[in-house]
Structure 1
Amino acid sequence: MFLPHSLTTMLYFQLVIMAGTVMLAYYFEYTDTFNVHVQGFFCYEIAYTKPYLGPEDTSAIPPALLYAVVSGVPTLLITVTETVLFLIQYTSKDLDSREKTMVNGDCCYLNPLVRRTFRFLGVYMFGLFTTDIFVNAGQVVTGNLAPHFLTVCKPNYTALGCQQALRYISHQEACTGNEDDILRARKTFPSKEAALSVYAAVYMAMYITFTVRAKGTRLAKPVMSLGLMCLAFLTGINRVAEYRNHWSDVIAGFIIGVAIATFLVVCVVHNFKGKQLLNEDPPQDPLSNDPMVNSPRVESPLEKYIASQVTELRMDDEDLSSRSLKGRLLSFFSWITGKSSRFRHLQSTRQ
């Protein structure tokens, strides 16, 4: 089955959207195109005087490990699951009845396994980059300070006049610490690690719940789903325990991740209810069911002779049945007339 021109156009359009999403996430993450909002602080504010435990790479859950897990584990899980489901259906179906979708006339067909895998992984990756964009946009717009902000900022309280009265410092030149550490300390709301981890956990939990329907998995699916959610929750707790985010940052990240994952699963992939990997019946031509399009049927001489003989036999049977009915009626009326004549004779003799 060849893809129509409209479907090919939509495919290219989706690729353009995906490329634009990746580029926007790149500009948010690795460039200074978007300036972070400079939020002020009060002198000696207790909420921002927590100790600084080192750069992100020294964390119990470093960003490199988190990014590798949220991108690699779902890819491996979806690929393995779809392959196993395809092999199970492949061994139980007819080889010639499997669905084949042609991309174009010069290329080979797109296997249902490849189509479903790329669809689910493509939507997942799109949501992953979208979550990153939402989080980065929130961090740039709000500019909320980390719990260890004053520790890395190292403001000169004497020059700022904080010894006499409690003052609100709003200018960026008040900090004397490392500029990179200060910039990272201004980007905490919402928590990126919490959002990405819970997004991956919710997407995978819903994928396992809706896709795996084998017998004996009634408890295995909840255990795996809750285990993924527990790991995401521990990631958020770790951010608070290391004084890298506030509780409000982590909760906001959880809300963003859950919302995006739920929206994509319910509204985009429709609870992973795609087409079957192998169709039981081959696709039929819709024109074959239209009686106006069917070609006229030519009868052979033998068929015409058989039809004429059947018609004659039916007519003979009808004649016989009508004759037999007529004879029965005549005999019945003769019997009635005979009875009546005998009755008249008896009456005449009695008189």
Structure 2
Amino acid sequence: MFYFQLVIMAGTVLLAYYFEYTDTFPVHIQGFFCFDKAFSKPYPGPDESSNVPPVLVYSLVAAIPTITILAGEVMVFFMRSEGMLEKTIVTADCCYFNPLLRRIVRFLGVYTFGVFTTTIFASAGQVVTGNQTPHFLSACRPNYTALGCHSNLQYITERKACTGNPLIVASARKSFPSKDAALSVFSAVYTVMYVTLVFRTKGTRLTKPTLSLTLLCLAMLVGVVRVAEYRNHWADVLAGYFTGGAIAVFLVTCVINSFQQTKPPPMPVRPQRPESVLGMPMVALPCVESPLEKLSGTQVRGGSGLVAGLHT
């Protein structure tokens, strides 16, 4: 089972790589209306020039949950003695994970799987829909004269309508859903659920809500910046929020059972055998009540009642 999970993880990483860095899955090319104001926003530059560049987003997505889970599991391990009872067989009867290491690997492994799964879902949506960004026409640079555009109602479907940089044009066709918004919300929701379900704070009730709301606000801020810089529409950001949040909730509640402590299974109770006579086990036979026993029992109860009446 452990090696099967490694195969699934490797397949997920490989699929995310093919979506992100190769042309294995070509982007669907949608048409556009001439002079469409929804796609005529100025080109904001590459993603690296954003106020929230992808490097910063990915660094926070990797660092914040990892540090939180490591700190939380260390505290839980030293504060709860029942965690010492957990043991998990990995390869043979002699090989066990330490309880602390086991929970860390479990939670971070599921989180890593969720990150790549969110990337696959977001990339698949972008490839299948091919929705344009708000700055698509600025990146496409269509030759309206050659295309014969005379009004805003004319729809252009030609694949070679764009004269801009092909890489920038291809990136401008990947708007729905917003991948940065999906990853940010997935990381925030996963971490918030971990903090809420695992951490036990004494003396104050505002520590966990403050930390949770801070993480959620940072995730929401990523989507707001994407819209403000004309890199995504509001619908793209909301779809990214829903995608990342849904995957996080599913993994926490259905895969790792809301971060609950795993208890060792109870030892099976063996049925007690009847006592043996002279080393030979006795066989339990079914008992059938005889009519004579019923009659004698009735007579005894009747005699007892008669004796009690005489005494009284």
- Relative to the length of structure 1, the TM-score reads 0.74
* 2-structure distance, mates of 1:228, 1:216: 22
Instruction: Indicate which of 176, 179, 183 corresponds to 1:189.
Output: 176
* 2-structure distance, mates of 1:145, 1:67: 23
Shift of 1:291: 2.4
* 2-structure distance, mates of 1:77, 1:295: 60
Q: Percent identical across equivalent pairs?
A: 58
The equivalent residue for 2:78 is 87
Q: Show CA shifts across 1:240-298 (max 9, x none).
A: 0000000000011111111111111111111111326xx8xxx87536x54239999x9
Shift of 1:109: 2.5
Shift of 1:227: 0.7
1:53-68 to 2 correspondences below 5 Å: 53-68=44-59
Consecutive unaligned residues in structure 1, runs of 5 or more: 1-9, 299-351
Residue 150 in 1 paired to residue 137 in 2?
A: yes
Instruction: Indicate which of 209, 224, 243 corresponds to 1:222.
Output: 209
Check the 8 A contact 1:38/1:171 in 2, yes or no.
Answer: no
- The structure with the larger Rg is 1
Q: CA RMSD in A?
A: 2.4
1:93-242 to 2 correspondences below 5 Å: 98-105=85-92, 108-163=95-150, 166-242=153-229
Change (3 A) 1:250 1:294: farther
Check the 8 A contact 2:34/2:151 in 1, yes or no.
Answer: no
Change (3 A) 1:78 1:42: same
Change (3 A) 1:56 1:294: farther
Shift of 1:26: 0.6
The equivalent residue for 1:292 is 273
- Structure with greater helix share of residues: 1
**Comparing 156-165 and 26-35, the one that deviates more:** 156-165
Letter in 1 for 2:199: V
- Relative to the length of structure 2, the TM-score reads 0.83
Consecutive unaligned residues in structure 2, runs of 5 or more: 280-312
Shift of 1:166: 4.0
* 1-structure distance, mates of 2:276, 2:197: 46
SS in 1 for 2:142: coil
**Comparing 102-111 and 262-271, the one that deviates more:** 102-111
* 1-structure distance, mates of 2:177, 2:20: 14
Change (3 A) 1:33 1:290: same
* 2-structure distance, mates of 1:293, 1:124: 53
Shift of 1:107: 5.9
Shift of 1:108: 4.6
Shift of 1:194: 0.7
1:21-36 to 2 correspondences below 5 Å: 21-36=12-27
* 2-structure distance, mates of 1:119, 1:78: 11
Q: How many equivalent residue pairs?
A: 278
Check the 8 A contact 2:39/2:135 in 1, yes or no.
Answer: yes
Shift of 1:13: 1.7
SS in 2 for 1:286: coil
Letter in 2 for 1:136: S
SS in 2 for 1:172: coil
